[in-house]
Amino acid sequence: MTPIRIRTANRTEQLFANRRDLTSAIVSGEVTATCEVFHVRANRWLPVTRHPAWPSVAIVKAEAVEFLAPTESDLIFINPDFLHDLVAESCRS
């Protein structure tokens, strides 16, 4: 698998071996919404918020900051791989 290239706002680049590593960096705040991800097939930089790992992490981070009681009309989509990793991580603690 090709490493995931991330470029920060000050133009430094970081490589992440896989999506799990990128997700951890997003959760920790190391990768923020101001970063960009290199799209290999398009051969260009895109906002990191367009990467599939971003939405699931953003939802979980928002819930951690403020709990909102769900209503019948609320739907929350979390990537199953991320949820699995999150549960596995909490079981190790």
Range of the domain at 52: 4-92
Per the structure, how many domains does the chain have? 1
Q: What integer pLDDT is reported at residue 4 of this predicted model?
A: 93
Q: How high is the pLDDT of residue 67? A: 47
Bridge partners of residue 47, in order along the sequence: 36
Cα distances from 89 to residues 43, 50, 54, 74, 84, in angstroms, run: 34, 25, 18, 26, 9
Mean per-residue pLDDT pooled into runs of 10, the chain (93 residues)? 90 92 85 91 90 67 50 58 62 58
- The CA distance from 48 to 26, in Å, is 10
**How far, in Å, CA of 33 to CA of 83, rounded?**
21
pLDDT of residue 88: 63
